[in-house]
Amino acid sequence: MPAPVDAAFLAPNAFVDSDHPAVVAFAHRHGGGLPPQQAMVAVYRAVRDGLRYNPWRVGMRPQDYTASGVLLRDPAEGGHCIDKANLLAAAARALGVASRLHFANVRNHIGTARLEAHLGTDLLVFHGYCELWLGGRWVAATPAFNVELCRRLGVAPLDFDGEHDSIFQEFDPVAGRFMEYVADHGSFADIPFERMMAAWREHYPRIMKRGAWPRPDSPLPGQDPAASPVEGEGAGR
C-alpha cells in the first residue's frame, strides 16, 4: 500500500494558492466532476494550450509567482515553465489531487539563441514541471510548450495521459535533440523562491545585477540598441 501523501502537497500556500477563487473556478471549469486521472489530463491540456509559452515573461519578486496571478494577468503575456507548472499544481489541489513542483537545470537546443545571449549561458536554470499523485504514485506532467509553439518549432507537442511521466522529449525525429536535463533540484510543495534566486545570481550575474529579466526586443550585449531582435527565437525556459 502506498505511503500517505504529505499534507503539504494538498494544501494551498503563498505560491500554489489553490484556494484562490480564480484557481478554483479554473480547476472546476476544466476538470470538475471527472475522475482524478481524467480531470488532470483535461486540466493539463487547458494549461498547456490555454496559456501561451513565453520565456521572456519572468518576474523577480515573490508576488510574481502565484498561480492566481497567472490566471489574472493579461492573457497576451503568456507564462514561462514555472508559471504553467504552478498553475497545474494549484488546479490539481483545488480538485483534491496532491501535487508538487519539480525543478531542474536544462539545455534546450531549439530556438534559444537570443535568450541565451542575454543570459550569458546555454544553461536554463530552474526549469519547472509538475508532479501529480495519481494511481498511488507521483506522475510527472510538463505543460510548458503549447501546441501552436511546438508546430512552429517543428517538434511534437508533449501530451499527458495521467498514467505515464510526461517530461520534455529528449529527441525529435525531425529537429534532432530537443531537451537535455543537466542537474536536478528535487521536488517541493511550493516554489523555492530564495533558492531559485540564488541559483540565478550564480548563473546569470549580469541579469540579476540589472534586476530585471530581458525582453525579446532588448538589444543583445554589445549590440547596437537600434538593432531589431531575431524573429522567431526565444522558446527557452
Q: What cell does 129 get?
A: 514541471
Higher pLDDT among residues 226 and 221, named by residue: 221
Segment 106-115 mean pLDDT = 78
pLDDT, position 231:
39
CA distances from 128 to 62, 67, 168, 217 (A): 16, 13, 11, 25
Residue 21 belongs to some domain of the structure: yes
- Lay out the sheet containing 124-134: strands in order across: 137-141, 124-134, 99-108, 179-188
For residue 60, the domain's CATH number is: 3.10.620.30
Lowest mean pLDDT among 73-87, 89-103, 109-123: 109-123
Residue 2 belongs to some domain of the structure: no
Segment 102-117 mean pLDDT = 84
pLDDT in tens, 59-70: 999 999 999 999
- Number of structural domains (the chain) is 1
pTM: 0.91
Residue 203 pLDDT class (50, 70, 90 cuts): very high
Residue 135 belongs to some domain of the structure: yes
State the residue range of the domain holding 63: 7-210
